[in-house]
Amino acid sequence: MRKISFSIFVFFSIILFCSLGTWQVYRLQWKLDLISEINYGLNSEPVFYSNSNLVNYQKVKFNGSFDFEKQIYLYSLNSKGTPGFDIITPIKINSNEILLVNRGWINKDLKGNKNINNIKSGSFEGIVKKITKPNLFKPENDIENNIWYSLKLEDLERFTGYKLNNFVLFLQNSQNNLVKNKIVNPDLPNNHLKYAITWYSVALSILLYFLYFRKKQ
C-alpha cells in the first residue's frame, strides 16, 4: 500500500512540474510577442494620432490643448529613487476625444505648483503605452487629495468626467524645465525559458530517481 501511495505521489509531482514548465513555455511566447511589438513601435516613424489604429509603444504626433483642471498626480520614483509624481494631464485631441498624457516626473514639493503647467498647446510627439492592471499590493487611489498609485480606468473617468481609452501617451518634448520626461523603457526581463528548463529538469529528476529506487527494490 505504501508503494502504491508513493507511486501516486511521484506521478502527480511529475505532472505538476511538467505543467509548470509548459506554462512557462506559453509565457515565453507571450513575452517574445510583446518584445516584438515594443521594438516595432519604438523603431517606427511617428504617425499622426488616430484612435482607430493605436498600437502599444507606437510613436505618434498629435495636436491639442491640455485640461490642467483635471490633472492627475501619480506617485512615482525617479531613476535615483527620489519620490515625486508623474503628471497625467488630459488633452483634447478634437472636439469629442480625450487622451491622457504623461507629461513627465516632478519632485513631490511641486505638486499643485502652477509653473509646472507652463506649456503651450500645439503640436507634440509621444509614445503610446497601454494601461496595465494595477499591482494588487498598491494602495487605493486617494482621489479626494489627487494622489494616485495606479491608473484605474473607472477612477480616472470618475475624476476627470471624460470617457477614456486604456492608453497613456508619454510626452517626449515636455517644454518645461520643472518636468522631466519619462523614459519609456522597453527592457523587459525574459527568464521564462530558464524557468521552463528548471521545471522540466525537476520532473525528469523525480522520474529518474523513482525508476532507480524501483530497480533497486
Q: Is residue 146 part of a domain?
A: yes
3 vs 197: which has the higher pLDDT: 197
Answer yes or no: do 160 and 127 share one domain. Answer: yes
Answer yes or no: do 138 and 199 share one domain. Answer: no
Q: Is residue 113 part of a domain?
A: yes
* 11-15, 68-72, 114-118, range with greatest mean pLDDT: 68-72
45 vs 51: which has the higher pLDDT: 45
pLDDT by residue (tens digit) across 157-193? 999 999 998 899 999 876 778 888 887 776 677 889 8
Q: What is the mean pLDDT of the chain?
A: 85
Q: Is residue 150 part of a domain?
A: yes
Answer yes or no: do 112 and 150 share one domain. Answer: yes
Q: What is the pTM of this model?
A: 0.74
Answer yes or no: do 166 and 81 share one domain. Answer: yes
73's enclosing H/E stretch is strand 72-77
Q: How far apart are CA 76 and CA 79, in angstroms?
A: 10
Answer yes or no: do 96 and 52 share one domain. Answer: yes
Comparing 46-55, 77-86, 90-99, 203-212, which segment has the lowest mean pLDDT? Answer: 46-55
Under 8 Å CB-to-CB from 143, ≥6 apart: which residues?
Answer: 155, 158, 159
pLDDT higher than 90, residue 87: yes
pLDDT by residue (tens digit) across 20-47? 999 999 999 988 888 887 887 777 788 8
b (16+ CB within 10 A) / e for 109-147: ebbeeeebeebeeeebebbbbebeebeeeeeebeeeebb
Answer yes or no: do 102 and 135 share one domain. Answer: yes
Q: Is residue 177 part of a domain?
A: no
What is the number of structural domains in the chain? Answer: 2
- Structural domain containing residue 207: 2-36+191-216
Q: How far apart are CA 177 and CA 210, in angstroms?
A: 66
